[in-house]
């Protein structure tokens, strides 16, 4: 697990009361929250789709993905656009916080509870000062089943 985390810059963001980070090199763009169009029969974590530069992309509601309480989206809510397994998608988060350096020595990659909680999307927990940051592997955010359900509900979304 720790070998999945390279030393580098991580964009940190908040979902509910927790802080998460994603390798900044995976981020294509940040866009202000816009209400996605709902997809009938889409997986629970998919909030809907948006038009991003002429491409229809799915938006993962990170509160739903992590089974957090639903929240209200406001002027601080952001959609982080990134490439996941050669497909463009967005992550809906409460707010983007910062870009911070994280070194391997500050990452605990082996999480004993990970398999019990179906948390394969976590590639470690980093320490930034006194704050713990859950580090995400975007390629593992959606399970194969969720990806299949999404494609079935929406058709092959734009690459």
Distance separating alpha carbons of residues 126 and 75, to the nearest angstrom: 28
pLDDT over 80 at 57, yes or no:
yes
End-to-end CA distance of the chain: 28
For residue range 60-97, list pLDDT tens digits in order.
999 998 889 988 889 899 999 998 888 889 999 999 99
Tokens of 23: 């390798």
Distance separating alpha carbons of residues 143 and 103, to the nearest angstrom: 28
Distance separating alpha carbons of residues 92 and 31, to the nearest angstrom: 10
pTM here is: 0.85
The correct CATH number of 2-152 out of 1.10.3210.10, 2.40.50.180, 3.40.50.10490, 3.40.50.2300 is: 2.40.50.180
């Amino acid at each position: 697990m720790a070998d999945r985390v390279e030393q580098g810059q991580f964009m940190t963001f908040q979902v509910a009361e927790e802080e998460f980070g994603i390798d900044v090199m995976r981020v294509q763009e940040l866009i202000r929250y816009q209400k996605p169009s709902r997809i009938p029969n889409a997986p629970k974590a998919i909030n809907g789709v948006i038009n991003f530069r002429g491409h229809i992309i799915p938006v993962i509601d990170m509160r739903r993905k992590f089974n957090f309480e639903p929240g209200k989206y406001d002027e601080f809510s952001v959609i982080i656009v990134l490439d996941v397994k050669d497909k463009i998608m967005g992550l809906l988060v409460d707010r983007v916080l910062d870009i911070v350096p994280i070194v391997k020595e500050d990452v605990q990659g082996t999480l004993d509870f990970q398999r019990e909680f179906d948390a394969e999307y976590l590639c470690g927990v980093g320490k930034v000062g006194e704050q713990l940051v859950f580090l995400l592997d975007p390629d593992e955010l959606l399970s194969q089943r969720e990806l299949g359900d999404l494609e079935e509900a929406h058709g092959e979304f734009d690459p």
